[in-house]
Structure 1
Amino acid sequence: MKITLIRNATLWLEYGGLHWLVDPFFADQGSNPAIPQVPDSRSNPLVPLPIPAVSLSSPDILLLTHLHPDHWDEPAAKTLLAGRGGSQLPILAQPGDRERIASFGFSDVTEIEKTLIYKGVTVTRTSGQHGVGEIGQKMGQVSGFAFRAENEPTLYIAGDTIWCDDVVQALDAHRPDVTVVNAGGAQFGEGDPIIMTPEDVVSVCRHNADTAVVAVHLEAINHCRTSRDTLANEMKRQGLQDRVRIPADGETLAF
């Protein structure tokens, strides 16, 4: 298995003999407005893609954890429609998202309620909480996905979630060899974080001592308040620096 972090939560995954694109966010640097009332007022995304979007236009399959604009945007849809798969690119998504994805022009969209086997890869949807209280409700449904395939590590992509019972249940059910967490500590002007903080990443590590953790969704959106350095320093302080890998944009990790 190889995981390449593109930017934010966008991943290029080589798994089960297939090339998977996860949560494509292809907007040009600074082309979207800043999220207001947070300390960093820069326009989004904060950084450019590390490689041309066209080089990501022809995956074997697309996986969308949810449809917030930093995980699925119009530039990504246009790029993929122009790629090898075109409108027939296979897309996996959470329940309730098919109609909106199809509105971009895609015809092969499958909602995963529980588990799907695709060309020898078993994909199981997991739940999460994109924040707590009123903000968590406004953020809506989000999903993670667990992957299993012969001769591959078990992979859990947690998605946009904080540390919560849903994550505990997923870790216990799947016992992943590798867990990808969105760890930028995103937070609006009011309310608690809506994705994992360094403390949440520590909780993942402590709960499942056997999983390697890959931390992404960092330094790309202006309300993400955890930097790579901050996260790395906390992991070192907790003695977890060998458990948590924090890739740079464009970096590939092999497992």
Structure 2
Amino acid sequence: MKIQQIRNATVVLDYAGTRLLVDPYLAEQGAYPGFEGTANSHLRNPTAPLPMPLGEIINVDAVILTHVHPDHWDEAAINLIPKRMPIYTQSAADQAVVLSQGFTDVNLIEGTVLNGINFFQTNGQHGSDEALQAIGEILGDVCGVVLQHPAEKTLYIAGDTVWNRHVVEALEQFTPEVILLNAGDAQVVGLGSIIMGKEDVLRVFQAAPQAQIVATHLESVNHAVLTRQELAQYCELNGITSRVSIPADGETLSF
């Protein structure tokens, strides 16, 4: 497989001969205001430019949406992606949202088989129990996705989740050999992290000794406070660089 980091949680996967776009966030740099009530909300989003032409990014066979928050499925993506593109969503609610935006081939992730690739949906939690109790309607439901094919290693896309039992269960059930972690430590003021941070990368490293880890969702939205440099330094200090990759925007990794 090949994993190309685009920006934020947006990646393009070449998996078993199929090209998949995950969580497209395609606006020009600075197109949107920062998220209110989050760290560095004075910054405009996206905080980084796209590393390649839009036409290359959307030249795919299908789109996977772990959820429909605007930094994973933005107005630019809605307008630019062809309406007949196959889209895979976590729930009937998200499916209805995407259908209402004019897309005609919108499916559920769980149970899908696409070109011989088996899709499995995993659970996640977009923040601590306290955060969900306080602003659960805003944080909403999220998921992860596992891809399996006889010719490829098992890939686990964890999605916008903190480290918790859902991640542990996914690791135990699927024993993935490649793990894509949203690791930018996005922060809500007063409620803490709503996705993984550097300590969580270490936890996943320790819990999945068979896996190569790819850190994504870094340096592209106002509230993601963990930088690539800080994560790289942390990995080096903790001796985990051998199995943790931190790709730059536009960089492609092969596994």
Match of 1:123 in 2: 119
CA contact under 8 A between 1:46 and 1:221: conserved in structure 2?
Answer: yes
Matching residue within 77, 85, 89 for 2:85: 89
Matched, 1:111 2:108: yes
String of CA shifts for 1:56-80, please: whole Å, max 9, x gaps.
Answer: 2231011000000000011112111
Aligned pairs for 1:229-240 (under 5 A) are: 229-240=229-240
Deviates more, 1:154-163 or 1:129-138: 129-138
CA distance in 2, matches of 1:52, 1:14: 18
Match of 1:25 in 2: 25
Assess, with a 3 A threshold, how the Cα gap between structure 1 residues 33 and 236 changes in structure 2: closer, same or farther: same
- Give the superposition deviation at 1:134: 4.5
Match of 1:12 in 2: 12
* Structure 1 runs not aligned, ≥5 long: 82-86
Question: Taking every aligned residue pair, what percent have the same amino acid on both sides?
Answer: 43
CA distance in 2, matches of 1:206, 1:134: 26
CA distance in 2, matches of 1:30, 1:153: 37
Matched, 1:57 2:72: no
CA contact under 8 A between 2:22 and 2:64: conserved in structure 1?
Answer: yes
Structure 2 SS opposite 1:230: helix
Match of 1:84 in 2: none
String of CA shifts for 1:222-254, please: whole Å, max 9, x gaps.
Answer: 111100011111111110011100000000000
Letter in 2 for 1:100: V
Structure 2 SS opposite 1:88: coil
Letter in 2 for 1:50: P
Aligned pairs for 1:64-103 (under 5 A) are: 64-81=65-82, 87-95=83-91, 96-103=93-100
Structure 1 SS opposite 2:21: strand
CA RMSD, aligned part only? 1.2
Structure 2 SS opposite 1:234: helix
> TM-score scaled to structure 2, two decimals?
0.95
Structure 1 SS opposite 2:122: strand
Structure 2 SS opposite 1:226: coil
* Structure 2 runs not aligned, ≥5 long: none
Moved over 4 A (4+): none
CA distance in 2, matches of 1:176, 1:12: 18
Letter in 2 for 1:111: L
- Give the superposition deviation at 1:40: 6.2
String of CA shifts for 1:154-200, please: whole Å, max 9, x gaps.
Answer: 10000000100000000011100100000000001111200001001
CA contact under 8 A between 1:157 and 1:180: conserved in structure 2?
Answer: yes
CA contact under 8 A between 1:97 and 1:111: conserved in structure 2?
Answer: no
Match of 2:214 in 1: 214
Structure 1 SS opposite 2:71: coil
Structure 2 SS opposite 1:242: helix
> TM-score scaled to structure 1, two decimals?
0.95
Report how many aligned residue pairs link the two structures: 249
String of CA shifts for 1:16-35, please: whole Å, max 9, x gaps.
Answer: 11000110000110110012
- Give the superposition deviation at 1:133: 2.9
- Give the superposition deviation at 1:42: 1.6
CA distance in 2, matches of 1:20, 1:66: 16
CA contact under 8 A between 1:8 and 1:221: conserved in structure 2?
Answer: yes
Letter in 2 for 1:126: T
CA distance in 2, matches of 1:107, 1:231: 40
